[in-house]
Structure 1
Amino acid sequence: MIESWRWYGPFDTISLAEIAQTGAAGIVHALHEVPYGEVWTREAVAARKAEITGAGFRWDVVESLPVHEAIKRGEGDLSTLFANYRQSMANLAAEGIRTICYNFMPLLDWTRTDLKAPVARGGTCLRFDTARMATFEIHMLGRTDAEGDYPEEVLRRAAAWFQASTEGDRDALLHAIMSGLPGAFDRYDIAGLRKALKGYEGIDRDTLRANYRRFLEEVIPAAEDLGMALCVHPDDPPRDILGLPRIVSDEDGIGWIMQAVDSPANGLTLCSGSLGANPANDVPAIARHFAARIRFAHLRNVAKEADGSFEEAAHLDGDTDMVALIAVLLGEERRRRDAGEDFAQIPMRPDHGHDLLHDMERESFPGYPLIGRLRGLAELRGVARALEQAG
């Protein structure tokens, strides 16, 4: 696997020189400064690539080339947005970047309720607390019918938390939920989020799937022509949020996408943490099932709780058997090499890490500290080396 590291460019407090000391060979990056729906010019791509390669790295994967909300809603004349997306793809391909990670989550990307949950032996982690999410939806957002999405015990705890919370507590909860949009230009307050949700009224699972199929039909033929792969990232968390349907949460959902436009260019970002937060998902089994379509891997772990809550675990310590999962990925790489296939190596990055030691004194994007991810990369590297030597 190609050991990679997510870097936020001019927005990142972690420098390329520091990343070099982690041992990572590749950079995963996006032009976060470009508003959604606008073209990534070849000049801008080339300039950023020169910065990355000049520091001794490869730029292997774009994460993410965002899908505009109007495309997800299927709203209005989308011809310009589709054309802009294809042109951005062409400009990336012209600079030798051929793997694009993206997601099709309505409105919000990854969602957490706590950005600094304490870890048992010190440090902090990201956490999704079902009762806090219920508090937000019912008592702060006032979403109609939200109570029907939660069991009675969760509703009781949500009401108790809201009654005991301060304005600062509620502001922190809103901030945490909005923090899954790195580089995005939309950050909502309560009124703004209510307005944004109205744009999705009447859009159910089938409608979202239809809009997604249309997107794939518009961009996958271009990816084939350019020798690229688009790799969908699973929903995080893998459940409906804010009454919005999520359709990339399990094996069935991924299978539908792969068949919607059946092409090697229609690929998968295997995110062990996103899929692992669904108790019904066997992540190594899902990886085996879709191995031929995996073009990129996010390796992280989560510890789940009975009510649907979960938090980021150390990379080798959560509910997913990371050794078994890495064995699947290495086996797929061997198969590709033996078959002489393109994209034989799978870029991998340590996803989300605990804030450890000096991480807690340094501002960074939530989930993306230096030391916590360095620990994760070292652990994953050790597993991969051991498996490779064992044959």
Structure 2
Amino acid sequence: MRMIVRWFGKGNDTIELDHIKQIPGVEGVAWALHDVPAGEEWPEEKILEVKKEVENYGLNIDVVESVNIHEDIKLGLPSREKYINNYIKTIENLAKAGVKVICYNFMPVFDWTRTELFKGMEDGSTALFFENEKIKESDPVELVEMISNNSSFTMPGWEPERLEHLSKLFEQYKQVTEEDLWSNLQYFLERVIPVAKENNIKMAIHPDDPPWSVFGLPRIITNRENIQRFLKLVDDPYNGLTLCSGSLGANPNNDITNMVREFSARIHFAHIRNVKTYDNGDFIETSHRTKDGSVDINNIVKAYHDTGFSGYVRPDHGRHIWGENSRPGYGLYDRALGIMYLWGLWDSFDRFKKESQ
């Protein structure tokens, strides 16, 4: 596996590239141009600025996370043609800089959804938390205000230019069923996958987080059956997955270990993190250690090892520990601990395999 860390860019992240470089086994960053609105073309000169800055530290920019998809594409509006054309131009510009994988999602309005950004845990750390009943009783506007008021950084998936039209978006999505969303996703894929293939960039869709409907909005990348359906929409190796154990793991019915084995050839990027789930539908993010949550991280990493996975991996969200002040879920310390736990598992599987030969 090829270990990378998500980095939000100079001036938009508490984490420095020279600190990322010091984490053993890390070779690159998952990055994005967070100042470019969804639907706009990413300028080649800005891409090359990031490339130069990151490569100065001996790291790569192979994985972009994310090139966000404009809501008009998800809604299937006539204006989607403009935004799909911009997306295609962005793919071409990223290819010129040597990018290999684009992570994206197809979640309406919201990307990830949480009800608390700094939920206190017994050990004194804090973590992202989802309270099921609170979501059912909340107004989406209240959630937006909570997310927006709790961070001085840009929040991926919660960009102001998208959320300022929240009421209009919810009105538009009242007419959109899950089948409509599937159709709109297929239309998008049929346009962009041939371009991605021509430019040797693998597209990797991220599962819905959490993997069920929120505020009545349709969500479709939620389980094994839907992932199977997704991969068949455009059955091409360049149409693949960002398999996120935390997102899918919020639903205890999802067998992520078996998903890794079944979809291994189409997993281009892996997010490996743990969550602790509760019977009432609540969940909280934990350390990456298997016993600290409800997701079998040990067997998931073993499945990647057994299938010879050589793609990109990142530790995904971490807790906030040791008094670190950071973007919610994206401090340095716990993610670095997570990386070393994942490497420990991987190295153990490596050694066992060699000794048993």
In the TM superposition, what is the alpha-carbon distance from 1:319 to its structure 2 partner?
1.2
Superposition map of 1:157-306 within 5 A: 172=146, 175=149, 181=156, 184-186=159-161, 188=163, 192-306=165-279
Partner residue of 1:70 out of 69, 72, 77: 72
In 2, Cα distance between the equivalents of 1:38 and 1:170? 23
Q: Distance in 1 between matches of 2:158 and 2:96?
A: 24
Farther-moved stretch of structure 1 (349-358 vs 171-180) = 171-180
| Number of corresponding residues | 348
| SS of 1:227 mapped into structure 2 | coil
- Which residue number in structure 2 is paired with residue 2 of structure 1? 2
How many Å separate the matches in 1 of 2:197 and 2:32?
Answer: 21
- Which runs of 5 or more residues in structure 2 are unaligned? none
* Distance in 2 separating the partners of 1:52 and 1:300: 25
Gaps of 5+ in 1: 142-166, 335-344
**Aligned partners of 2:88, 2:197: CA distance in 1, in Å?**
11
Deviation digits for residues 124-182 of structure 1 (CA, Å, limit 9, x no counterpart): 01000012112214xx76xxxxxxxxxxxxxxxxxxxxxxxxx9x99547757998635
Q: Higher mean Cα deviation, 230-239 or 179-188? A: 179-188
Determine whether 1:116 maps to 2:91: no
Q: Could you tell me whether the CA contact under 8 Å between 1:111 and 1:180 is conserved in 2?
A: no
Q: Using the TM superposition, give the Cα deviation of residue 121 of structure 1 relative to its aligned residue in structure 2, in angstroms.
A: 1.3
Distance 1:108 1:175 in 2: 16
Contact 1:111–1:179 under 8 Å retained in 2: no
Q: Does 1:375 align with 2:337?
A: yes
Deviations 1:22-65 (A, max 9, x none): 23211110111111111112221111101000111011200001
Partner amino acid for 1:326?
V
CA 1:187–1:367 in structure 2 vs 1: closer, same or farther (change >3 Å)? farther
- Could you tell me whether the CA contact under 8 Å between 2:110 and 2:157 is conserved in 1? no
CA distance in 1: counterparts of 2:137 and 2:119, whole angstroms: 17
Report the counterpart of residue 348 of structure 1 in structure 2: 313
**TM-score normalised according to structure 1 size:** 0.84
Structure 2 residue aligned with 1:318: 293
Query: Could you tell me the percent identity over the aligned residues?
Result: 38
Moved more, 21-30 or 234-243: 21-30
Q: Tell me how far apart the structure 1 counterparts of residues 278 and 118 of structure 2 sit (CA, whole Å).
A: 18
Shift of 1:312: 0.4
Q: Pairwise CA RMSD of aligned residues?
A: 2.2
SS at match of 2:135: helix
Distance in 2 between residues matched to 1:79 and 1:203, nearest whole Å: 18
After superposing the two structures, state which structure 1 stretch, 318-327 or 233-242, moved more: 318-327
| Residue identity in the other structure for 1:31 | L
2:311, 2:350 → 1: CA distance?
14
Q: C-alpha separation between the residues in 1 aligned to 2:167 and 2:116?
A: 21
1:15 maps to which residue? 16
Q: Using the TM superposition, give the Cα deviation of residue 253 of structure 1 relative to its aligned residue in structure 2, in angstroms.
A: 1.0
Distance 1:281 1:355 in 2: 27
Judge conservation of contact 1:136–1:173 (CA < 8 Å) in 2: no
Are the aligned partners of 1:109 and 1:180 in contact in 2 as well (CA < 8 Å)?
no
Residue 324 of structure 1 aligns to which amino acid in structure 2? N
Aligned mates of 2:133, 2:341 — CA distance in 1: 32
Cα gap change, 1:201 to 1:182, in 2 (>3 Å): closer
> Are residues 1:357 and 2:322 paired?
yes
* Secondary structure of the corresponding residue to residue 108 of structure 2: coil
In the TM superposition, residue 365 of structure 1 has moved relative to its aligned partner by: 1.7
Specify which of 339, 343, 366 is matched with residue 328 of structure 2: 366
- Using the size of structure 2 for normalisation, the TM-score is 0.92
Contact 2:245 2:273 in 1 (8 A): yes
What is aligned with 1:41? 43
State the partner residue of 1:148: none
Moved more, 66-75 or 377-386: 377-386
Kept in 2: contact 1:110–1:180 (CA 8 A)? no
SS at match of 1:125: strand
CA contact (8 A) 2:112 2:157 kept: no
Q: 1:116 deviation in Å? A: 0.8
Q: Is the 8 A contact 1:8 1:32 kept in 2?
A: yes
Letter in 2 for 1:204: T
